[in-house]
Chains A and B, each alone.
Chain A
């Protein structure tokens, strides 16, 4: 597992070095693109010349379009969807980021970003089993975007009803990019999809460049507290685990298999994290200082390095645990927690 992390880090650094060392030609073209993008409105992003032809052809032919879902199966859409339902908050954010928000008619009750989601039909979502098929059908959707395995059963039911379903996983940065690409194609916004992916990668690379001078051989040891009773953390195979690595931290529970396991308090105390990060719930305390006081009172926790040094951070749960286009915000907050010295003016 450890080797995996090191390998990833090395690859990342190599990528960074490569992109820095590359000829100025590319930098110039990126800069030019960015400039153009700034001038033009988002809906008509200019395209690189060599890609333009392909995409113009695609736009004229446009639909029907065939998109691969998370299992590699083909989903064919006869015409551009106008009544889209998203069943995952992260996919909803992606749809809006791509400019497909106007084509949406419904989302889940957990979708709270951007604020336009309030105008959509909110489908109550406690868990996939509680979604009412009738409510979905009544909205007359011509595309429902679902999460992969989480909605597998529901997707099968929708398929028997002849409603097009695009199932896309949302568990990692790679998944986010696949979703951006797939949703972009399916909704007639493939250009914006590619642009969004580029921007995402640039922002992540930029952030890592910013913390790089402050990284030492020993990465800060992080404990991410998902829940308190039982004590639950984010394992290395989870989205949050990935963000910790990307932000230059070392997960103190890097050796667990499940994504969000219940872990032993003993091990936590022995591994003595230097930084504790928690999601900030809406109804929970807003102030990290308040949480720190409570942690001090917990038996055994007052001896933890993170608690002693007051390095306990709250990150809004929407940006840290939602694998969507705002991933960079979560990553930035995490990087700030790990390397405060790299962010002099937060």
Chain B
């Protein structure tokens, strides 16, 4: 069994998640080759074949061209699986490759169970195992689900080329908004989720944060709705935090939120839904309405 792993590269750097692909291939028990649209200096440190195309020539984000390069590598390698990280790069490119191969795609794999691929359903409240019916299959793995393999080894580089004409024009990157608070240094973070209901209720959570000497955090919908500044957002598209104490108030525990806070030393979740996925990572789950419980707790600190 052979797997072709598609590395990620951004702003001139190989992304560390590329080594999660290696870990996945090892768990799968597959022989591996890798493909990178990047630079020789940033080639992954692995033993084995790495197909390399130059990002200077093909661009870092240019999915219709990257698709052709990955297809060319597939042609040379003839793998059973083509594997991406389920990231903004992977979920964008994987379905294009799958459609061209007319191959099954299985998205955001969290585990391999009896040779079948396990994925989440309904915000991870259920699990599903999926099997491909096509000869080849395209897979994307959940970021963080397979701990990165060590970067050690010497790649054998094989240059790869493709037609570089693109229907899409990449204009450029826009950096993250400036931070007015650095959550990465906070020892206590009390975060507000959509469960707080409305903007007017955010001060209830902020008051607890203040009473405990911590910072206010937030889940994404709270930020998108403009209830809290983006700099307070915790998660894949926000900040990754690791405080001594993290309190999630009315947050369901979606993977993108967990990715930003699950390294916290101690996690308390306050949620009216006893089955909320946040319960899986919480050291203490308080089953309650946040708007009733949080003021009661705040009073204990004052």
Q: Do A and B come from one complex?
A: no
Residues of B within 8 A of A (CB): none
